Amino acid sequence: FRLYSEEGSQAHVYLVNGNHDGELGWDLKKQSKLPEAKRTPIQFAAYRKRYFSVPTPNEFYGGNNDVEFQALGHPGNYYSFEWGDALIVAIDPFWYTRNVNVLTGPDGVET
């Protein structure tokens, strides 16, 4: 967090999810029988929102308000805003991906 606080004191820092952040749609699907608060993607999203402020939809920011969980609220996993002539868009393809493809190597073994 030290790096973010040093950089963030001089410039805006906008975080986006990556493929190793645990907020994976296929895990939501696999864990659909668990209570909402016990599903790992929701837990990871709650940690992210707790420690890293992300833009939420309002008059300046566009963002995720199409999905809401009782245990989390809106995930806040994507957002957009205009700055001058620039349109800034942060996307998250993983939250909405419910099926994962299994990759195999030439020998037929899963990678």
Residues in the chain: 111
**How many structural domains compose the chain?**
1
Q: What is the pTM of this model?
A: 0.75
**Is 105 a domain residue?**
no
Question: What's the pLDDT band for 64 if we cut at 50, 70, 90?
Answer: confident
Instruction: Count other C-beta atoms under 10 Å from residue 45's C-beta.
Output: 25
**Is 98 a domain residue?**
no
Residue 111 clears pLDDT 70, i.e. is over it? no
In single-letter form, the type of residue at position 64 comes to N
**Is 66 a domain residue?**
yes
In 3D space, the residue among 109, 61, 104 whose CA is nearest the CA of residue 81 turns out to be 61
* Mean pLDDT over the full length of the chain: 85
Least confident of 55-64, 76-85, 95-104: 95-104
**Is 86 a domain residue?**
yes
Domain that holds residue 18: 2-90
Tens of pLDDT, residues 8-39: 778 877 878 876 788 888 898 899 899 999 99
**Is 71 a domain residue?**
yes
**Is 10 a domain residue?**
yes
**Is 107 a domain residue?**
no
Which pLDDT score, from 0 to 100, does residue 40 have? Answer: 92
SS3 for 50? helix
